[in-house]
Structures are given as C-alpha cells and as structure tokens.
Structure 1
Amino acid sequence: MTIITESGKFSENLYLIDTEQFLNKRITTVFCYWDGKNCYLIDIGTSDNVQTILRFLKNNEIPLQKVKGLFLSHYHFDHGGGATKLWKTIHRKNNNSTFKIITTRETKEKLQNAESHVMGAKTTFGNFVGEMKPIPVDLEENAYEIISFDKDYELSSIEKITIRLLSTPGHSNDHCSPTIFRNGLPIFCFVGEASGCLYNGSELLSQPTSMPPNFQFEKYMNSLEKLINLNPEKLGLCHFGVISGKNDVKTYLNGHKKYMIDFRAAVIELYTKNQSTRYIIENLKEDFFNDEKFIDNYYRKLNNHSNFLSNLRLALTYGMMISLGFRKPKYELK
C-alpha cells in the first residue's frame, strides 16, 4: 500500500504541494504538473496559501513565467479561494505572463461572486478562510479561460498528455475532478472533494468531506461511481495526499462508497430519535467519527486537532441534514 503525504515529486511531471492550511501540514493539497517547459497548478488553497505555493515553485526551480494555468476542482475557499490573488500576484511580478485561471463558466461565476460563501465559511473556520476578491470586470477576459466539463485540454503534444475536468457534482454543483491522461489512459485523478478525506497515512479509511449547502447525495454517489469506473493509476485527495496503485485506489473508493451510504442512514435514524445536531454528532462518534480508527497519530498530536475536526464534523453533519431537508442553509443558498 502506498499513501504519499510529503510535498514533492511523486510521479513523472507531477508534484504534491502541501498548502499548510490552517497553519498545519497534511490538511489541504495542491498539485502541480511541470514537464520542464510548461507548469500547470491544480487547485490553489486559500488566499493565505498563495505565498506557500509560490515558495514551492521557487524551491523546485519552476520559473514563474512558465506557469501557464490554474485548474480548479471547485470554487470553495480552501480550493479556489486563492485563485484571483494568484493571478494578480503573477501578473504583478511578470507583466508579460500568459497565466490564466482555466475553469468552467460555473466556477468562474462563483469566484466572481463569493461574498455569501465567505461569510458562511467564516462561521465555521474563522479568519483561516482568507479573502476572495473578484477580478475587476475589465480584466476578466485576461484572467479567465473558460473550458467545458469532460473535454480534453492539451498539456503536452509531444507526450500526448491531456487534462480533463471530469464533471463530478454532489459536493457542489460546479465540482469537477481534474484528471491527467497519457495516450488516453488516466494516470492521475485529482478527486477534489468527490470521494471523501483521508486523515490516515497507513490505512485506506475515508472520512466524509465537509458538506456545504449545495451537497446533493444522489449526485455525489453517481460521481463516486464515475470515479470507480475511471480506474486511474493514482488518486489525489485534497484532504490529504496521493493513493498510488489501481488496487488501492479501487479499495479506497469502494470503502468510501459504503461509508457514505451507512453515514446517511445513520443520520436519518438518529434524527428520528432526537433532532438536535449535537445529539446526532455525539452518536455518530463511535462508528463514523472514531479518532482511534480513522485518524492517525499525526493528526491526533496537532495542537488544535480537536477544534479542527469538531468544526469539520459539524459542517459535514449539518450539510447532510440540509441535503435531507432536516435543516436550511444559514448563509449561502442552495
């Protein structure tokens, strides 16, 4: 079994970057494609993480003028939140840059109108959310390159390497899983938040991703099935790391499928007994939020791990309850 959690090169032309989000390691990943001629980033983290990404590029001798584009899994603050700041920073440092935010029209609209999302996220994660300031209207055409879901975008004509924004809604309506193909075969799939989180460096045990107001269970499960059928060589998780090897990828994805079915059923059963959010979370702990089972020693030793995990579990439980119609969103609309 191979679970990669360290920043650096993990495969030909592919790099894992730890954003050091929430001032801790192994919380959120960004991925980088660099073939010696062109560099593309996949996700960016928050606006506060931009300097971490730029420092990684410098330390790995990747020239800023070679950074051609940023692909995003979705608009949320911890994934696309730093996109506009990165664009502004690169263009300030390099006036002749051709760097673009390469994304779908849906994600662009969310990035340009992120006020309610930021407000809602801050109620759970505070100032760690950062800021999401839109690109000025007169510069939008220079900043964005709009592409469609499920269409191939060429990264290298010589090696026949393409990337495809595989449509995987459910976590959010605009969610996609950027997947890199070589000669038509999927060599790396960044699932974003389409297949849970991995807070364990030695066991393939998933936890749910945070479930925002847009979460839709049926779409999420259909997207998960799409990823299982894709059968990529390597799987990139935003929270956290890389699973290498088709058998381990399949084991993880199928395990997450079962977890989500059981988790939803448990929320429904507990809600029929007591509608309190606190009651439901407390009674999910043994089977679904068991730190001893799902969380490895690294996370258990973090200074603020209890606050981080409790906030995350509140968000995902509440999100599932919204999906079931048991609660209404407080800030961002569905």
Structure 2
Amino acid sequence: MAEHGIHTIDTGFVRPRFDAAYLVVENGRGAFIDCGTNFAVPRMLDALGSAGITPADVDWLILTHVHLDHAGGAGELIAQLPNAKLVVHPRGARHMVDPSVLWAGASAVYGEAVMEQTYGRLRPIPAERVIEAVDGHVVDLAGRPLSCIDTPGHAKHHLTVYDERANICFTGDVFGLSYRDFDTAQGPFILPTTSPVQFDPEALHASIERLIALRPEAMYLTHYGRVEAVERLATDLHTQIDAMVALARAAHGQPDRHAALMESLTDLYATRAEAHGWNRGRSSLRQLLGMDIELNAQGLEVWLDR
C-alpha cells in the first residue's frame, strides 16, 4: 500500500532510479506531479492501473518546472487524460501552450536528432487546460490541499508542491539530487543542481530555507525518490552551494575555465562522497554524476558571465 496514496514512478529517463514522477491518489482521484519525457507516458498510464484508477480519474498534472526531464511529456500525457488540467508556474505556462521556444533552446544545445531521440517532439497543450500557479496557489485533490510554493534558484519557473496531509514536499530540482546509488549507513548523499541557465545562489538558499520552515518529514526529489533527514540534507546543500560558487569564482579567467570547473566540482563531490562512507571511487562517481557535473559547470558559468 502506497503511504498517503503517494506512488513513485520511474520515468525510465537515462537509467533506472534517475528520474522520478509521482502520482498522488485521494478518494479515487489522481494528481500527477511531473511526468518525464514523451517516452514515460506509458509508464505514467501503467501507474494509474496499479493504483486502481483510470485516466479519467486524474484531475491534475502539476509541473515543478518546465525542464524537459520533468515536463517534456506533458502534452502527450494530458492528451490521454480527458479531465485533467495542467498546473504550472506562471513563467512556464506559455512554454506548455507553445513549446517551440523551449524546443529551439534545447535543440541549440543538443541538436535536433538528439532531441527527437531523447525527448520526442513536444506536443502543445490547449491554453484552456493550463492553470498558472502563483505563489500560494492551492490545488484541490478531492479535498486534499496541494500547495504550490514559488521556489526559484534552480530555475525562475520552479515551484514546489507541499502536501500538508502527508507533510512532505515534491521538490523537483530545488532540493538537489540524491541518487540511491550513493546511499550509505549515513543515509542519503545530496548535491545541488545549478543547471543552465537560471542558477541563482541567493534565491536557491532562500528557497531551501523556505521549505525547511514547513518542517516536512520527507522530500520527494525528481532525482530520485523520497529522502528523510531533511535538516541535515539542507545543511549539506547550503554548504555545497557556497563551495560551488567559490569554485566558479576560482575558475573564472582560467584559460580552460570549463575543464577547470569540471575537475574542481568532481573533486568536491568525490571528497564529500568519501566522507559520507561511499567508497566506489572517482571513476564510478564520474560515471554516475558525469552529466550532472557537466550541467552544474555550465550553470555556474552562465551565472558567472551574468
């Protein structure tokens, strides 16, 4: 039985236990939180069957933000959910109604072929099915309030969903990344994600503090799953945000700034992982975190240049 009717769905993006979406079920009605890419849609629909509800029983798809590993499949999924509305940060709404800018921006980085293969084409969502969730907006799931909290820092269009009934937060990327591969006797290992192009360290610190003030018993991360010991993890995130900013400043002006930053970030996470009791070594860490280190380096560089 899923605790508080919360089901974790592995979207299958990149590797197992890398990218999660969630289904919350209350009195036979459902709300999805994030949805992965187009290729995750069958998994999302399968989760409904496992939870004993149908696509017609889903009232909401709430997006934490519109980065494609969270929202790429929103158009395809909504098309399968006859009664659902999409709930999204006001800054992200237009990209769901007309995803062309989102597609063009990502294609400029990855190329069209990789985009098609990784995410699939983005399907527009009719404007009348999109609800803009300003700070404090409450989604009513069959009498169960799901509060949308404006949490910038990773992206300006980021919200966190606070589920008062379960006393937990669905944090998207604002409360960092914590892959189960790094769990030790000391519990989960966590690191922040800056990701291009809207990293803002002050805003990220403030957003983390705002969530901790709710005193939630757990956070549900997109990457990946439920983590507890939230006070300790928040402290770890704050420490690393400051450390990453310092590394970015130190790399600034170096001939190959990107390579220098990749190396220093790898050192930071390897040292912390080892102190956390994780002893699988640097090359294993690079294998698991390579993409995240690359994105963190890029995010820090965009912030430096700004």
User: What TM-score, normalized to structure 1?
Assistant: 0.79
* TM superposition shift of 1:179: 1.0
Deviation of the 1:156 alpha carbon: 3.4
Given that 2:171 and 2:221 are in contact with CA atoms closer than 8 Å, whether structure 1 keeps it comes out as yes
Q: Which residue of 2 aligns with 1:76?
A: 67
Contact 1:121 1:129 in 2 (8 A): no
TM-fit CA distance, 1:70: 0.3
User: Any idea what SS the aligned residue of 2:296 has?
Assistant: helix
**2:200 aligns to what?**
216
Q: Where in structure 2 are the equivalents of 1:238-257 lying within 5 Å?
A: 238-244=222-228, 248-257=229-238
Please report how far the alpha carbon of residue 301 of structure 1 lies from its aligned counterpart in structure 2 after TM superposition: 11
Rounded to whole Å, the distance in 2 between the matches of 1:104 and 1:44 is 15
How is 1:125-274 mapped onto 2 (pairs within 5 angstroms)? 127-135=117-125, 139-141=126-128, 143-157=129-143, 161-182=144-165, 187-199=167-179, 200-202=182-184, 203-244=187-228, 248-274=229-255
> Which residue of structure 2 lines up, in the alignment, with residue 103 of structure 1?
88
How much does 1:193 deviate?
A: 0.8
User: Corresponding residue for 2:297?
Assistant: 317
Q: CA deviation at 1:315?
A: 1.4
Q: Is the 8 A contact 2:29 2:53 kept in 1?
A: no
- Cα gap change, 1:56/1:153 in structure 2, threshold over 3 Å: closer, same or farther? closer
Query: Are the equivalent residues in 2 in contact too, given 1:77–1:132 (CA < 8 A)?
Result: no
- Shift, 1:61, TM fit: 2.2
Say which SS state the counterpart of residue 195 (structure 2) adopts: coil
Contact 2:64–2:158 (Cα < 8 Å) also in 1: yes
Contact residue 217 and residue 323 of structure 1 kept, 8 A:
no
Q: Distance in 1 between matches of 2:106 and 2:282?
A: 28
**Conserved 8 A contact 1:46-1:131:** no
**Could you list the runs of 4 or more consecutive aligned residues of structure 1 that deviate by over 4 angstroms after TM superposition?**
123-126, 272-275, 289-292, 294-302, 305-308
Corresponding residue for residue 93 of structure 1: none
| Residue pair 1:73, 1:177 contacting (<8 A) in 2 also | yes
| Change beyond 3 A, Cα 1:295–1:120 | farther
3-state SS of 2:164 partner: strand
| CA 1:249–1:310: 2 relative to 1, 3 Å | same
Tell me the residue number matched to 1:15.
7
Query: Displacement of 1:297 after TM fit?
Result: 8.7
For 2:121, the aligned partner's letter is E
Q: Which runs of 5+ in 2 are unaligned?
A: none
Q: Is the 8 A contact 2:89 2:159 kept in 1?
A: no
Task: Kindly provide the amino acid, as one letter, of the partner of residue 194 in structure 1.
Answer: V
Aligned counterparts, 1:113-132, within 5 A: 113=99, 114-120=102-108, 122=110, 127-132=117-122
TM-superposed deviation, 1:108: 1.3
Map Cα deviations across residues 225-255 of structure 1 (whole Å, 9 max, x no partner): 21222221221111111013xxx11111111
RMSD in angstroms over aligned alpha carbons?
2.8
* 1:276 aligned residue: 257
Q: Which runs of 5+ in 1 are unaligned?
A: 1-7, 91-96, 327-334
> What percent of counterpart residues are identical?
22
Q: Contact between 2:265 and 2:293, CA under 8 Å: does it hold in 1?
A: no
Counterparts of residues 55-70 of structure 1 (less than 5 Å): 55-70=46-61
Give the aligned residue type for 1:86.
L
Structure 2 vs 1, CA of residues 292 and 148 (structure 1 numbering), >3 Å: closer, same or farther?
Answer: closer
C-alpha distance in structure 2 between counterparts of 1:31 and 1:320, whole Å = 29
Residues 210 and 313 in structure 1, CA contact (< 8 A), matched pair in contact too = no
User: Aligned partner of 1:100: which letter?
Assistant: K
**Is the partner of 1:73 in helix, strand or coil?**
coil
CA contact (8 A) 1:228 1:254 kept: no
* 1:291 to partner: Cα distance: 9.1
Write the deviation string for residues 154-176 of structure 1: whole angstroms up to 9, x where unpaired. 2233xxx2111110011111101
For 2:10 and 2:283, locate their aligned partners in 1 and report how far apart those are by CA, in whole Å: 18
Alignment of 1:290-329 (within 5 A): 293=274, 309-325=289-305
Q: Normalization by structure 2: what TM-score?
A: 0.86
